[in-house]
Structure 1
Amino acid sequence: MKTGLFFGSFNPIHIGHLIIANYIVESSDLEKLWFVVTPQNPFKKKSTLLDDHHRLEMVNLAIQSYPKFQSSNVEFSLPQPSYTIDTLVALKEKYPEQEFVLLMGKDNLNTFSKWKNYDQILKYHQILVYPRITEIIEETPVIHPNISEINAPIVEISSTSIRQMIKENKNIRPMLPPEVFDYIDGSNLYK
C-alpha cells in the first residue's frame, strides 16, 4: 500500500492542511495519507507548541470524515527533536508492507539538503512537493528523480497567524474545521 506522510506540528491543524492533503491523495496514486504529528521540529522552538495530545486530538477531529486520512503519533515515542529519517526507519520497521511517500512544501525543498541523512530519504522514498507562495530561496533546491512537484492549490493560511488572531480575540472560525474550532474554543487554547 502506498501511503503519504504529511508531517507537521499542526499547531493547530487548519483547512489549508486539509485542502492540500485531500488534493494530493485524490490526484495521485496514494491510497492513504497519514498526518504525522511532530512533537518537536528541529527547526522550530518547542515553547510555542501546544501539548502533543491536544494537537493529535485536533488532527483526529479534523480528519474524522475523510476515510483516506489517519493520524500518527509515531514520533511521540522517538527521541526529540524529531528527524524525518528516524521516523521513516521506525515506520518501515512497524509497517514493512507500506510504501511511504513524503509530502513537502516547496519552501522545505529549498532547505532539504540540511536535513539529517536527506540522501537516504531520497534513496528510499518518493517525495511529492506542493507549491507555496512564501518561498525563501536559501540555497539551490535538491533535484532528484524521486522528487515530483504536484500542482496542488496554493493555500497560505498559517497556524502562527491563527494563534496570533486567537490571542487578539479575532474570528478564526473560517480557517478551521468546525470540530477543531469548537475544541480550541471549548478548551480556551492559545489565549
Structure 2
Amino acid sequence: MSKIGLYFGTFNPMHIGHLIIANHMVENSDLDEIWMVVTPHNPFKKKSSLLDNHERFEMIYRATANYQKINPSDIEFNLPQPNYTIHTLAHISEVHPNKEFCLIMGEDNLKSLHKWKNYETILEHHHIYVYPRIADGVMDDQFKNHPKIHKVDAPIVQISSTMIRKGIKDRKNIQPLLPKEVWDYIDEMNFYNK
C-alpha cells in the first residue's frame, strides 16, 4: 500500500517554498508521493483574491511535471463547500482504497489542529507529517509525543503567496521566488497585476 502525503493549500500562487517543502518531505520521510491538493476556497481568506481553481491547479501541474513523486490534485473541486479536511480524507480514502493518506502541515497549523472539525477522528485514522515554521512557541504539548504526528526536519522557508502577489502588483522582480513554469504562466496570463 503506497503512502501519500496530502499537502493542502490555496497555492495562490504556488512558489518555490511549496516545492522545496513538498520535495523535502517526500525525499526525507517514508512517504511515497506528495499530492498537492488545491483548495477551492479557504474560509479564512478573501475569495476575491483567489485565482480560478483551474488556473491554480495549472500552476502546480506545470511546476511539478518533472517531479515523479509530486502531483497536483483537484480532489476538492467537486466536494461541497465549505469543505473540511475530515470530509476530503473520507472521500479520497473511498476513491483510492489501496492508498494510505497522511497530512502534511506546518508547525503553525498544528497548533490549531484541536479546533479542526473532528480532529480526533483525523488523528485516529491518519498520520500527520509536520514541517517547522518560525512561529510563537513550539509544538503544542498535547501533540508533542503523539504516535501519529511526525516532525520532519525540513528547511524553513519564509516566502508567502501574499508577498508574491504584492510584488507583482508593485512591478517588482519576483521571478526567483517562483518555479520558472509558474512565472511563465503568470506572466503569460497577466495574473496579479491589478
Give the alignment's TM-score, normalised by structure 2. Answer: 0.94
Question: Partner of 1:74: helix, strand, or coil?
Answer: coil
Q: 1:141 to 1:42 in 2, by over 3 A?
A: farther
The answer to whether the 8 A contact 1:33-1:69 is kept is yes
The answer to whether the 8 A contact 1:5-1:33 is kept is yes
Q: What is aligned with 1:173?
A: 175
1:80 is aligned to 2:70: no
Q: Map 1:38-187 onto structure 2 (within 5 A).
A: 38-133=39-134, 135-136=135-136, 140=140, 142-143=142-143, 144-187=146-189
Separation in 2, partners of 1:162, 1:141: 34
State the AA in 2 paired with 1:52: N
Identify unmatched segments of 5+ residues in structure 1. none
Q: CA deviation at 1:45?
A: 2.3
Q: State the superposition RMSD in angstroms.
A: 1.3
**Percent of aligned positions with the same letter in both sequences?**
58
Question: Partner of 2:82: helix, strand, or coil?
Answer: coil
Q: What is aligned with 2:9?
A: 8
State the AA in 2 paired with 1:146: K
Separation in 1, partners of 2:45, 2:142: 22
Q: CA deviation at 1:115?
A: 0.8
Separation in 2, partners of 1:141, 1:71: 33
Moved over 3 A (4+): 139-142
Q: CA deviation at 1:126?
A: 0.3
Question: Partner of 1:102: helix, strand, or coil?
Answer: strand
Q: CA deviation at 1:41?
A: 1.8
Q: What is aligned with 1:190?
A: 192
Q: CA deviation at 1:43?
A: 2.6
Question: Partner of 1:36: helix, strand, or coil?
Answer: strand
Identify unmatched segments of 5+ residues in structure 2. none
Question: Partner of 2:76: helix, strand, or coil?
Answer: helix
State the AA in 2 paired with 1:74: I
The answer to whether the 8 A contact 2:110-2:140 is kept is no
Return 35-44 or 48-57, whichever deviates more.
35-44
Give the alignment's TM-score, normalised by structure 1. Answer: 0.95
Q: CA deviation at 1:66?
A: 0.1
- Equivalent pairs, count: 189
Q: CA deviation at 1:48?
A: 1.4
The answer to whether the 8 A contact 2:25-2:154 is kept is yes
